[in-house]
Amino acid sequence: IKKYPEICVDKFLELDSEISNSLSTTKKQNNQFNLKNLKAKNLLSFAELDLDLSKRGLVRIFSEPHNMGGKSNLTRIIKILLFGEFYRTSGERTTQDKFLHKHSPLNYAFVEGEIEINGDTYFVRRDFTKGKSGKVSQKLSVSNQNGNTIDNDYYESLVGDIKTFLFVSYFD
């Protein structure tokens, strides 16, 4: 087992706050996210994914092998859950037809998660279906902890814009 230096959570939160405050947006979003669990099927490089993050603090993503272990795709799946899209490091927006696992015969994929935003719990699910033409469609479903359907526009106002989204923090 490798030993890693202790991560100073207070310093991380301080840096996150500084960055959030420095964002120059007309509609400032400073919502705190807490991802409780994450499930996906047939999405990017994952045939299946099931993570319980409810009892975790700060999460460090590590893989063996170091390359091609799914670290980047895991963070992309979180962005797909929150925003329905992601951008590559080059700034290129990835299209939905690239979301489905490329080695799978299945014509659908999904990602779902339980997310706490500013103390309120939401259950978010995105379904992706590839039609006969090869085009992939997306359906977003959001509900609260009481099972009531949440308006998609309201949800999108909570999570904000992917372009200003810098960190996903997993804190209790």
3-state secondary structure the chain: CCCCCCCCHHHHHHHHHHHHHHCCCCCCCCCCEEEEEEEEEEECCEEEEEEECCCCCCCCCCCCCCCCCCHHHHHHHHHHHHHCCCECCCCCECCHHHCECCCCCCCEEEEEEEEEECCEEEEEEEEEEECCCCCEEEEEEEEECCCCECCHHHHHHHHCCHHHCCCCCCCC
Q: In terms of C-beta density within 10 A (0-12 exposed, 13-18 middle, 19 or more buried), how is residue 51 classed?
A: middle
Give the residues across from 126 on adjacent strands: 111, 140
pLDDT per residue rounded down to tens, the chain (172 residues): 344 455 566 776 677 667 666 654 444 456 777 889 999 998 887 889 898 888 766 666 666 666 655 667 788 888 889 888 766 655 556 666 677 777 788 889 899 999 998 889 999 999 999 888 888 888 999 999 999 999 999 998 888 777 666 544 333 2
Give pLDDT, residue 70.
Answer: 64
End-to-end alpha carbon distance in the chain:
25
What's the pTM value of the predicted model, to 2 decimals?
0.71
Give pLDDT, residue 1.
Answer: 39
Give pLDDT, residue 2.
Answer: 44
